[in-house]
Amino acid sequence: MALVMSDTPPDHLSTNPRSPHFDLEVLQRGIGIRFKGRERKDVEEYSISEGWIRVAAGKSLDRFGNPVTIKLSGAVEAWFEDVAAADDAGEPDDSTAD
């Protein structure tokens, strides 16, 4: 039985392999995050339902060598980048027509 991946990203996802919200297969698809209307590439963890993202606070490290993170609250949107790229590639560009 083959598993079919949904086109909806998970509600809560983390890039830290030690987190219970880490999912390598989902991360390999590529996740786009928009926070407060601005696309972010530095998100370490997010929760759509709770309305927050976690980002690294500069280059600071904790005593275990992990980046120090801060939690920012606001509107969070997530999407799969591989689906967005497939949608863009599938539509013909009308601007090149004569």
52-95 per-position pLDDT tens digit: 999 999 999 999 999 999 999 999 999 998 866 666 665 555 55
93 CB-contact burial (10 Å; exposed 0-12 / middle 13-18 / buried 19+): exposed
pLDDT value at 97 more than 70? no
pLDDT of 39 reads: 96
Identify which has the larger pLDDT, 42 or 90: 42
Report pTM.
0.78
Banded model confidence at residue 6, pLDDT cuts 50, 70, 90: confident
What is the radius of gyration, based on Cα positions, of the chain?
Answer: 16
The bridge status of strand 31-35 relative to strand 38-40 is antiparallel
pLDDT of 28 reads: 93
From CA 44, how far away is CA 39, in angstroms rounded? 14
Q: What's CA 58's distance to the chain center, in Å?
A: 19
From CA 57, how far away is CA 70, in angstroms rounded? 6
